[in-house]
Amino acid sequence: MTQKNKNTTTGVLSQVKSSSREIAIIQANWHIDIVSQASQSFSADMVRSGYNEADIRIYNVPGSLEIPLMAQKLAETRNYDLIMATGLIVDGGLYRHDFVAATVLEGMMRVQLDSGVPVLSVVLTPHNFQEVPVHMDFFKNHFVLKGREAASAALMTLDNMALFQDERRLAS
C-alpha cells in the first residue's frame, strides 16, 4: 500500500515509482553516530512514502567540507533525481566553524543551481555542542527530526521537479 504525499496535490509517488534514477545521500563522517541519524530517518521516510530502498545510495565523506565536491560529482552523473547531504559542523572555539558552514552551504547551492539537481541540506552548525552525553543524545534526536523534515522537503521538491519534466514532454 502506498501513501499519497500530504504536501502535494499531484502526488509524487507516481513520479517517483516511474523514475529509474536514484537519490543520493552524502554523509560527513565527523560525528557519524549523530549524522547517520538523519540519513536513516530520511531513508525510512522515503521508503514509507513509496520510494524503493535500493534506489537510495549513501556516500560517505570525511567531513562537511568534502560535501560540495561529492555533490558536484554525483550531480554530473545525471543518475540522481535529488541529493541530500548531512553533516555536523561544531564550534571548536575558533572562527573556522562559521567559515566551514558558509563554504559548505555556498558550494551545495552552487551545485544545485549549476546542475539542476536539487541538493538538500541537513548540515547543521549548533551554537553549543560538547561531547557530553546530554548533547550527544539531544543532537542524535535532532538529526532524526531533520532527516524526516528533509524527506518531506524531498518529496515536495521531486514533485515540483516532475512538473518541469512533464512540461518538457508536452513541448516536444
Q: What is the pLDDT along the chain (172 residues), one digit of tens a residue?
A: 333 333 333 344 434 444 557 999 999 999 999 999 999 999 999 999 999 999 999 999 999 999 999 999 999 999 999 999 999 988 776 667 778 888 999 999 999 999 999 999 999 877 777 777 878 888 898 999 999 999 999 999 999 999 987 655 555 5
Class of 21-167 in CATH: alpha beta
Element (H, E) at 122: strand 119-124
CA distances from 6 to 9, 13, 49, 61, 156 (A): 8, 11, 10, 33, 9
pLDDT of amino acid 85: 97
Matching residue, cell 512538473: 163
What is the pTM (predicted TM-score) of this model?
A: 0.83
- Answer yes or no: 169 catalytic: no
**Cα–Cα distance between 126 and 29 in angstroms, integer?**
17
CA distances from 12 to 4, 44, 134, 152, 168 (A): 7, 16, 38, 11, 17
> In this predicted model, what pLDDT tens digit does every residue of 83-120 receive, in sequence order?
999 999 887 766 677 788 889 999 999 999 999 999 99
What are the phi and psi torsion angles at 52 (to 5°)?
Answer: -80, 130
Per cent of the chain over pLDDT 90 is 62
Active-site entry in 21, 96, 168, 169: 96
**Would you kindly state where each structural domain of the chain is located, as residue ranges?**
21-167
